[in-house]
């Protein structure tokens, strides 16, 4: 039986060998234009990235007077590096001395039970402040420029126009002006979107309020960056548009106080006491005017008068003008409404 009856499987005839598969080649075409949706997504991503707020670390303060020195002090005391700028070394030396005296008062109260820590606080804060007489040479690496100089639009415009050429692209400009339109100052620069008002109140180390004034051109990014900076200083920022909000109440208080005193209805001492005890002011109106400087106050009132000639609140004060003409500008000259030793 053996398997003789079985047929062997047919032999498969050898065919031609298969060549290896050919690699497909693709012709290069120009890239396709993005779809509108893709372009939109990319623009959204780009705008989100560019809209990131500026974290202010380095601050340049222009003006070493009471306001400028106060701003420099609170910025340095809260971990910022500060360059304080003014016209002469003598002015800056006086500013640094005033800052040190103010810091020692703060330290004495804040570190009453630990004088050593208070001394370290003073030294550390002072080491964070350097001075310069050349604003243009120091703004190239700063995050924020705060101007606190004379209340004169032409002078401020010349300053910012010059600094605009040297400051970094991301640098925010801010003015601490008490009377001038922020828009009028911002227009002197090419960075209106990075320009705003940052109005502190005297004395800066004590007063918690800060007005952040947003012009129609100020970007939301700039506004929010300044709000965050104000909070980092331990201040309470409030938002204003174009003009100061709280400051508009000051002319009425000043005019009323001057009027009461001149007519003999109340003495300047009684008015100051009443405002401190009755309204919770840290200083009375006459004390504050002497502290700020009667010459500075005259500049402010004159500026308001120019913008609104018919407003009775903005009329020049003969009493104030007389004291300034006699070089009695307040605490800095030894006499104003009060006499100082």
Whether residue 178 is annotated as binding a ligand: the answer is yes
Whether residue 57 is annotated as binding a ligand: the answer is no
Whether residue 331 is annotated as binding a ligand: the answer is no
The beta strand positions in the chain, using DSSP E, are: 58-62, 81-85, 129-132, 144-147, 172-175, 195-200, 209-214, 236-241
pLDDT score of 1: 44
Closest CA to 214 of 246, 183, 247, 242: 242
Cα distances (Å, whole numbers) of residue 25 to 22, 28, 324: 9, 9, 89
pLDDT score of 5: 46
Domain boundaries, the chain: 58-243, 247-333
Whether residue 278 is annotated as binding a ligand: the answer is no
Cα distances (Å, whole numbers) of residue 129 to 79, 88, 299: 11, 16, 29
pLDDT score of 11: 54
Whether residue 66 is annotated as binding a ligand: the answer is yes
Whether residue 202 is annotated as binding a ligand: the answer is yes
Residue 90 token pair = 């003598």
pLDDT score of 40: 39
Q: Token pair 């009471």 is at which residue?
A: 66
How many Å apart are CA 247 and CA 199, to the nearest integer? Answer: 9
Whether residue 270 is annotated as binding a ligand: the answer is no
Closest CA to 138 of 63, 191, 212, 61: 61
Q: Report DSSP state, residue 11.
A: P
Whether residue 86 is annotated as binding a ligand: the answer is yes
- Domain 58-243: assigned CATH number: 3.40.50.720
27 strand-pairing partners: none
What's phi and psi for 44, nearest 5 deg?
Answer: -65, -45
Q: Are 276 and 282 in contact (CB under 8 A)?
A: yes
Q: Report DSSP state, residue 189.
A: S
pLDDT score of 242: 59
Give me the numbers of helices (H) and strands (E) for the chain, helices first please: 12, 8
Per-block mean pLDDT, blocks of 10 residues, the chain (341 long):
47 51 44 43 40 91 96 98 97 97 95 94 98 96 96 94 97 92 95 96 90 94 97 93 56 69 80 85 86 85 81 82 94 93 77
pLDDT score of 17: 54
Residue 119 token pair = 């001394």
pLDDT score of 74: 98
| 3-class secondary-structure state, position 175 | strand
**Residues near 319 by Cβ (< 8 Å), separated by ≥ 6?**
258, 262
Q: Are 225 and 172 in contact (CB under 8 A)?
A: yes
Whether residue 156 is annotated as binding a ligand: the answer is yes
Whether residue 211 is annotated as binding a ligand: the answer is no
How many Å apart are CA 134 and CA 49, to the nearest integer? Answer: 34
pTM of the model: 0.73
CATH class of the structural domain 247-333? mainly alpha
Whether residue 118 is annotated as binding a ligand: the answer is no
């Amino acid at each position: 039986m053996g398997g003789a009856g079985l047929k062997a499987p047919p032999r498969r005839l050898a065919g031609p060998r298969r060549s290896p598969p050919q690699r497909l080649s693709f012709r290069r075409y120009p890239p396709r234009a993005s779809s509108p949706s893709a372009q939109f997504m990319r623009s959204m991503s780009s705008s989100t990235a560019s809209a990131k707020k500026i974290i202010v670390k380095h601050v340049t303060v222009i003006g070493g007077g009471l306001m400028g020195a106060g701003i420099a002090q609170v910025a340095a005391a809260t971990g910022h590096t500060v360059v304080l700028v003014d016209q002469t070394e003598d002015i800056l030396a006086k500013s640094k001395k005033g800052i040190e005296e103010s810091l020692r008062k703060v330290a004495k109260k804040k570190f009453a039970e630990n004088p050593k820590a208070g001394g370290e606080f003073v030294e550390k804060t002072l080491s964070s402040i350097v001075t310069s007489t050349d604003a243009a040479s120091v703004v190239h690496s700063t995050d924020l420029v705060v101007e606190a100089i004379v209340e004169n639009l032409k002078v401020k415009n010349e300053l910012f126009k010059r600094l605009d050429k040297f400051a970094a692209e991301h640098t925010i400009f801010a003015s601490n002006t008490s009377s001038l339109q922020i828009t009028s100052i911002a227009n002197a620069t090419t960075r209106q979107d990075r320009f705003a008002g940052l109005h502190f109140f005297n004395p800066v180390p004590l007063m918690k309020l800060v007005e952040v004034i947003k012009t129609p051109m100020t970007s939301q990014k700039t506004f929010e960056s300044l709000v965050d900076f104000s909070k980092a200083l331990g201040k309470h920022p409030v938002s204003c548009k174009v003009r100061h909000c709280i400051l508009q109440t000051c002319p009425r208080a000043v005019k009323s106080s001057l009027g009461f005193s001149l007519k003999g209805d109340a003495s300047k001492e009684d008015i100051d006491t009443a405002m401190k005890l009755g309204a919770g002011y840290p200083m009375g109106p006459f004390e504050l005017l002497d502290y700020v400087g009667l010459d500075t106050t005259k500049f402010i009132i004159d500026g308001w008068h120019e913008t609104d000639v018919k407003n009775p609140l903005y009329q020049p004060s003969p009493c104030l003008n007389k004291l300034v003409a006699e070089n009695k500008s307040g605490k800095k000259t030894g006499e104003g409404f009060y006499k100082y030793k």
